[in-house]
């Protein structure tokens, strides 16, 4: 892939609940990434599945597998308040209280902003993503900074025509 199109670092992840009609939400919350985050798309076309005859074990049919559109954003330093806002947790003083899981209960509209190796802004928008968050790594003495890994499973939006994602080099319009 051309390095111009590759998101080399992530600086911001914006999110809101996905809209029913597939339009972009008017207000987005933000997770500001303090240190350079990593962006890893994993678009798997799906493997082929074989149907075999029970007696001869010969293949008589081949079906395409299910494709997966997954993106992982890793951030070494994120503010605890941003993590709490995203996961629905609460922060009181030095106490973080998290409910049942780090999996967002509703699909999210996500806008990931970063830069390519040439310093140009790159933006990826996932129109309807199911998100899980993994919290792993060091926490500051006052618990103000944490590391966070977000995994987005992208699905078709409710827009007409449906979209999975947009990826733009340069300022997103």
pLDDT 10s digits, 30-58: 887 877 788 888 888 888 888 899 899 99
Kindly report the backbone phi and psi dihedral angles of residue 88, in degrees, each rounded to the nearest multiple of 5, phi listed first: 80, 15
Q: What is the pLDDT of residue 136?
A: 66
Does position 2 have pLDDT exceeding 60, yes or no? Answer: no
C-alpha–C-alpha distance, residues 101 and 6, integer Å = 31
28-62 in b/e form (b: 16+ CB < 10 A) is: eeebebeebbbbebeeeeeeeeeeeeeeeeeeeee
């Amino acid at each position: 892939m051309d390095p111009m199109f590759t998101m080399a670092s992530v600086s911001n992840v914006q999110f809101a609940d996905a809209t029913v009609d597939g339009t972009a939400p008017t207000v987005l919350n933000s997770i500001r990434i303090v240190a350079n985050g990593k962006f890893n798309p994993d678009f798997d076309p799906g493997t082929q599945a074989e149907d075999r005859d029970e007696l001869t074990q010969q293949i008589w049919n081949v079906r395409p597998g299910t494709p997966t559109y997954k993106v992982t954003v890793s951030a070494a330093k994120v503010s605890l308040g941003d993590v709490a806002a995203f996961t629905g947790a609460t922060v009181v003083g030095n106490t973080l209280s998290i409910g049942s899981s780090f999996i967002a209960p509703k699909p999210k509209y996500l806008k990931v902003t970063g830069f390519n190796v040439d310093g140009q802004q790159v933006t990826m928008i996932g129109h309807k993503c199911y998100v899980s968050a993994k919290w792993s790594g060091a926490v500051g003495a006052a618990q103000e900074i944490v590391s966070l890994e977000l995994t987005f499973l992208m699905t078709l939006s409710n827009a007409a025509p449906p979209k999975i994602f947009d990826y733009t080099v340069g300022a997103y319009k």
